[in-house]
């Protein structure tokens, strides 16, 4: 059985993430969407809320499950029985970071392969940080996030006090 994991912050999940999830789910028997719980990097949404949002918007794909994880990615991949780490690539500036991570992970385990999937052009400029920023400033995030999450993402981001 071919199992892959798609790790990330998902703070919050965007339509760009969802497109990668849909495409990767079609390639593997099982896709584990892994929400990195990094105690040194507190996100806007608590990890359990990010997992919950992911679960709600991936119900259409029975072979997709969302989980929270901490620690080393390659170890987590091995615990899941995954031989593939899926990552999305948007613009050239994603490449440097992704290249470095993939090499470091390869150094720790050659048994786990990192596979990159190109963004669909309509999502090339969609990022969680962009969503948080636009929502906090009262902009329209409708095209950027799943409709079912629109309200709670907007409300959570609007709570950020305006910086001046």
Active site residues: 17, 41, 90, 128
Is 154 a residue that touches ligand ADP (CB under 6 A)?
Answer: no
To the nearest whole angstrom, how small is the minimum distance from the Cβ of residue 47 to ligand ADP?
Answer: 12
Is 33 a residue that touches ligand ADP (CB under 6 A)?
Answer: no
Cis peptide before 12 (omega within 30 of 0): yes
Number of continuous H segments (helices) and E segments (strands) in the chain: 6, 5
Query: What is the CB neighbour count within 10 angstroms for residue 30?
Result: 17
Q: Residues in contact with ligand ADP, total (CB under 6 A)?
A: 17
Question: Do the Cβ atoms of 126 and 16 come closer than 8 Å?
Answer: yes
Is 47 a residue that touches ligand ADP (CB under 6 A)?
Answer: no
Q: What's the CA gap between 60 and 40, in Å, rounded?
A: 33
| H-helix or E-strand spanning residue 7 | strand 3-8
Q: What's the CA gap between 146 and 161, in Å, rounded?
A: 24
Q: How far is CA 54 from the centre of its chain?
A: 9
Is 133 a residue that touches ligand ADP (CB under 6 A)?
Answer: no
**Could you say which of 74, 128, 153, 156 contacts ligand ADP (CB under 6 A)?**
128
Map the footprint of ligand ADP across residues 12-31, applying CB under 6 A.
14, 16-17, 20
Is 8 a residue that touches ligand ADP (CB under 6 A)?
Answer: yes
Map the footprint of ligand ADP across residues 67-126, applying CB under 6 A.
87-90, 94, 119, 123, 126
Q: What's the CA gap between 78 and 93, in Å, rounded?
A: 29
Residue 40 vs 164, nearer CB to ligand ADP: 40
The residues that touch ligand ADP, with contacts defined as CB under 6 A, are 8-10, 14, 16-17, 20, 87-90, 94, 119, 123, 126-128
């Amino acid at each position: 059985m071919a199992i892959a994991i798609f790790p990330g912050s998902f703070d919050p999940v965007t339509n760009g993430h969802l497109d990668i999830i849909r495409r990767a789910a079609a390639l593997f028997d099982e896709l584990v969407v892994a929400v990195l719980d990094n105690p040194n990097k507190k996100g806007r949404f608590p990890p359990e809320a990010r997992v919950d949002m992911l679960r709600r918007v991936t119900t259409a794909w029975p072979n997709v499950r969302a989980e929270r994880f901490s620690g080393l990615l390659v170890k987590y991949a091995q615990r899941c029985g995954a031989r593939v780490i899926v990552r999305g690539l948007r613009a050239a500036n994603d490449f440097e970071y992704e290249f470095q991570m993939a090499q470091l992970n390869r150094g720790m385990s050659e048994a786990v392969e990192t596979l990159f999937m190109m963004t669909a052009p309509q999502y090339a400029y969609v990022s969680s940080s962009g969503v948080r920023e636009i929502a906090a400033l009262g902009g329209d995030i409708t095209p950027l996030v799943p409709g079912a999450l629109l309200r709670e993402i907007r409300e959570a981001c609007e709570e950020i006090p305006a910086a001046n």
